[in-house]
Amino acid sequence: MAKYHLNEAAVAKARRLIDARQYVLKSDWGDVQPNAEAQNAYLKNHSWDEYAEWHLGLTDGATDETKARYAFVYGDLRRIHRTGLIACVYRASEWHHKDVELAAHDLLQYLDQKTA
């Protein structure tokens, strides 16, 4: 099983998106999470650093500037999705990636406080 460490830049970006009201509160994550085509289109116009900021996890041992390096996407590459954060909490919890799980949980709580 792959190991991940927390991407602090992604946490900071997620908080900025929440503060800027760039979020979707109700969505079907299975329909809106970025697929390979959407990721490739994003990478044509954005840097790898910008792409990385959409992922709460960094895969240990994976080469930088490869898709394998980045895990736990939380938005549609434009806005944060509440369902994306929930998916990150669930997946990270399921596979015992505690740092990612707690960060996603904290972001979910932050989003809910801002939108209550």
Nearest CA-CA partner of 81 in 106, 107, 50, 59:
107
**What pLDDT, on the 0 to 100 scale, is given for residue 22?**
98
H-state helical runs in 5-67: 8-19, 29-32, 36-45, 48-52
Q: How far apart are the first and last CA of the chain?
A: 37
Q: Which tens digits make up the pLDDT trace of 5-45? A: 999 999 999 999 999 999 999 999 999 999 999 999 999 99
Q: Which tens digits make up the pLDDT trace of 59-80? A: 999 999 999 999 999 999 999 9
Residue 1 pLDDT grade (very low, low, confident, very high; cuts 50, 70, 90): confident
| Residue 33 near residue 76, CB atoms below 8 Å | yes
pTM of the model: 0.96
**What pLDDT, on the 0 to 100 scale, is given for residue 108?**
98
